[in-house]
Amino acid sequence: MKAKTLLGLRETSTLQEIKSKYKKLMKKWHPDKHINDVEKATQMSAKINEAYEIILEYCNNYEYAFDEESIKKSTYSPSEWWHDKFGGR
């Protein structure tokens, strides 16, 4: 996903990390900081904003499972996960 790569996100990121990466990139690429190349900085700022909007839209429309089985699986310890997948072998 280009948006994930542009923002420098890991495979799993918290909303706080997403916002932090966005803010750092916007500070770095703000046109006021690139007086010698305002056009490039403006283009990068637009790309960063677009990537951030894509990621936020994904996060806002993600469907969470609240059934008991899903919640139980999401809170497994590593040994519980192993046992669930492979039994007591």
Whether 26 and 33 have beta carbons less than 8 Å apart is answered as no
Confidence at 13, pLDDT banded by 50, 70, 90: very high
- In the predicted model, what is the mean pLDDT of residues 13-24? 96
pLDDT tens-digit map of 37-53: 999 999 999 999 999 99
**DSSP code per residue over 27-70:** HHH-GGG-GGGHHHHHHHHHHHHHHHHHHHHHHHHPPPP-SHHH
The confidence score (pLDDT) of residue 25 equals 97
The answer on pLDDT for 85 being more than 70 is yes
Q: What is the pTM of this model?
A: 0.72
Domain boundaries along the sequence of the chain:
2-86
The answer on pLDDT for 84 being more than 90 is no
Indicate the CATH number for domain 2-86: 1.10.287.110
Whether 48 and 26 have beta carbons less than 8 Å apart is answered as yes
